[in-house]
Amino acid sequence: MSEQPLNPTPAGSHDADVTSDATSDPSAADEAAALRAASFERARRLRMEPRFPGGPAADPAGSHHERRIRSFQPRRSRVTTGQQESLERLWPTWGLDIDGKRVLDLAELFDGLPVVLEIGFGMGEATAQMAADDPGTGILAVDVHTPGQGNLLGLADKAGSTNVRVANGDAVILLREMLAPESLDGLRVYFPDPWPKARHHKRRLIQPEFLDLVAPVLKPGAIVHCATDWEPYAEQMLEVLTAHPRFENTAADGGYAPRPAFRPLTRFEGQGLDKGHVVHDLLFARV
């Protein structure tokens, strides 16, 4: 199913013509304003409509909209036939929207397995591999990228993994409103957007305020595992996590940790290593 254009009115069409006459004819000005309002409303409705009936919602927490700086940019890239088939077939069983309207029963959702939250899984290759390698751990994987959601569902299904649930929406709303206290056994944030420009650093996910949300939903001893190949962001992560009173570095020297065997070497990571990037892992325990 192809996406409809947000503004189907071509440039230079009737809307523009009416606007040009508006200065001399009050009725034309009213008509131009009405056309613009209709165009905006049409675009709003299209953004709200799910791309796939029964699949991930376009704006699952619309009623909880907040004017705050977000650490992600929603992307509605092209969905392949295989990804679409996976979304339509598997989303009703393994997918959920982050709507902020209920507290998740993770024990029921994952048949009693311990659950790790992963924020931002890209195309899902690493997540699918970790799920297959460790079927005794549930992975609640959060992202807003529709092709990645479909790809992860397809990969997990192909591997026969039943310990993955794909969540669509804002992880902040999930942490704040949909998870019970001490319900998670870990948090994984692998290669988040580094927002390299100084004016964008406030958009980085790993901030003190984010950790304030994370700490209450983690069980004591649960591990926060971050990884990045962007050196300045790694330094910020280390500084912020070290300063937070609810987290303790598991590295004896108080620095970065070796890459754990359970974190796969991803294609993205391999590309960074080929370019000479240094990947840093950070593992902090909730105290």
Q: Is 193 a catalytic residue?
A: yes
Determine the structural domain holding residue 103 and report its residue range. Answer: 77-286
What is the number of domains present in the chain? 1
On whether residue 184 sits in a domain, the answer given is: yes
Other C-beta atoms closer than 10 Å to the C-beta of 36 total 14
Candidate list 134, 157, 193, 281, residue with the active-site label: 193
On whether residue 121 sits in a domain, the answer given is: yes
- Residue count of the chain: 287
On whether residue 96 sits in a domain, the answer given is: yes
On whether residue 252 sits in a domain, the answer given is: yes
CATH number for the domain harbouring residue 281: 3.40.50.150
DSSP H/E element including 10: none
Mean pLDDT confidence for 99-117: 97
On whether residue 4 sits in a domain, the answer given is: no
Q: Which token pair is 215?
A: 């700490």
Give CA–CA dist 89/11, Å, rounded.
38
Tens of pLDDT, residues 219-236:
999 999 999 999 999 999
DSSP H/E element including 113: none
Residue with tokens 């790790």: 116
On whether residue 256 sits in a domain, the answer given is: yes
Residue 58 has pLDDT above 80, yes or no: no
Q: Which token pair is 259?
A: 């890459």
On whether residue 200 sits in a domain, the answer given is: yes
On whether residue 46 sits in a domain, the answer given is: no
pTM: 0.78
Give SS3 for 82.
Answer: helix
